[in-house]
Amino acid sequence: MNSFKYWLMLALLLVSFINVAAGGARSKPAPQKKSMVASHAPLTEPFLAKPAIGAPFRDPVFGTTITRLTDAAAQHAEGFVCYYSKLDPFNADETKILIYRRGGQWFIYSPANHTLRRAPVKNSQTDAQPRWHPTQANILFWFDANKIMQHDFATGRTTTIHTFPAYQFVTNFDEGNYSADGRYVALAGKNWPWQTGLQEFFVFDLNERLLPGKPMPATGRTVDWVSISPSGKYVVVLVGSPHGAGQWQGVDVYRAPEMELLPHAYYPYSDHADLGIDGDGNEVYVTDNAEDTYPDRLRHLEKYRLDNGVKTDLLGCAWGLSRLVSCRNFAAPGWAIISTYSSPKHLAEEKTYPFDDEIFAVKLDGSRAVKRIAHHRSQRFAVGDYSYNNYWDQPNAVISRSGNYILFSSNWRELGAPQDVYLIDLREQEGWITGE
């Protein structure tokens, strides 16, 4: 073979090799998404060492991606927690996360640069009850006595939205939310003394800065919480006691802003609940039925339509599991996020039940469909008795508006240890609710 042919063949072989390599690179499949667990089978929680802060890890049973966001012990804090399951800690574009430091301080976590800094929440005399504006990513609301305050992170300015001169305080009893567009909020206006002083319920329009309806008298009523519905069409009031079918006896639903009572029989007592949207676009009340009334003797999750009170049975779980409810996923509706935690007796049983100490999604159509997400590894009670009982050890799992993220807190089964906050990233989960 002469020199020219040799070099020509070598060049052709080289070009062929490059083309194959390039084609192989182009055809290389993307990393496969993890499939969701959809069974109702008991799944034992394996041991998992407490993860380092900021290092994503996979749940060993469910395959979801989780990251620990805080290190309370290193900061000598009692604990950093996800405040409650019905309160969305994510701002509108999900670039900031509101985290509570036990003892009364609020912090903002930034996922982009993994920083934690004090929130500009200042209040006197009452709980601040901060909430993000549902559609404006830089706006944070809170209460200061009888005022609604606002901080704009874009300008750094804090302003008073409105002062209610007829009252000394305004509140939603720590569990209310703003309407999904940020326009309406349901409030209780109160005067001292807290239990027996003047109390009235009303709707406030933040756009017009006025009350579109008349306040409803409620002095002397023991109320757990009050909230506007996502659409702003309804106000829901959970009465602490007594429990029954009449007004001021459990769950009352009013048409807003007139505060006109709807005469439907909603479940009269709720351990935990949230307001959400089902797959048909109906506004619903999703609750943990804390009474043993079903033939299977299980503790059931239920859905009630706000407009007509129609009930749908969603799922039964072991009686020893309390269930926290989150329906903040307005952009991916039709599902509720449930986080369970075990009673002392349940912890003492040498048996694994379905959904033990888990975070999972349940479909709101009555099909009993679930998508199981993680073991949260947070333990509120001692095994077998109530010698240890810390409210802040509840996982309080809450889903973001987009459905892409879930935040929860955990003591990682270290009783008495500070709690930390964890973020579940569900964007890579095959079959997750955002793909429906």
Q: Which pLDDT band holds residue 33 (cuts at 50, 70, 90)?
A: low
- Strand 358-363 relative to strand 335-342: parallel, antiparallel, unpaired? antiparallel
- Better pLDDT: 350 or 331: 331
Q: Which pLDDT band holds residue 32 (cuts at 50, 70, 90)?
A: low
Res 24 pLDDT > 60 = no
Q: How far apart are CA 132 and CA 150, in angstroms?
A: 9
Q: For residue 414, give both structure tokens.
A: 């270290």
* Region 250-264 average pLDDT: 95
Q: How far apart are CA 185 and CA 208, in angstroms?
A: 12
Q: How far apart are CA 175 and CA 224, in angstroms?
A: 8
- Which of 396, 389, 388 is closest to 420 using CA atoms? 396
Res 9 pLDDT > 90 = no
pLDDT in tens, 375-396: 999 999 999 999 999 999 999 9
Please state the pTM of the whole predicted model.
0.91
C-alpha Rg value of the chain to the nearest Å: 25
Q: Which pLDDT band holds residue 29 (cuts at 50, 70, 90)?
A: very low
pLDDT in tens, 58-81: 999 999 999 999 999 999 999 999
* Region 337-355 average pLDDT: 96
Residue that is written with structure tokens 């569990």 in the block: 175
Q: For residue 237, give both structure tokens.
A: 């009031």
The mean pLDDT value of the chain amounts to: 92
DSSP-derived letter for residue 433 is G
Coil, strand or helix: which one is 225?
strand
Q: Which pLDDT band holds residue 300 (cuts at 50, 70, 90)?
A: very high
Domains belonging to the chain, first-starting first, are 38-105+318-436 (no CATH), 120-271 (2.130.10.10)
* Region 216-227 average pLDDT: 95
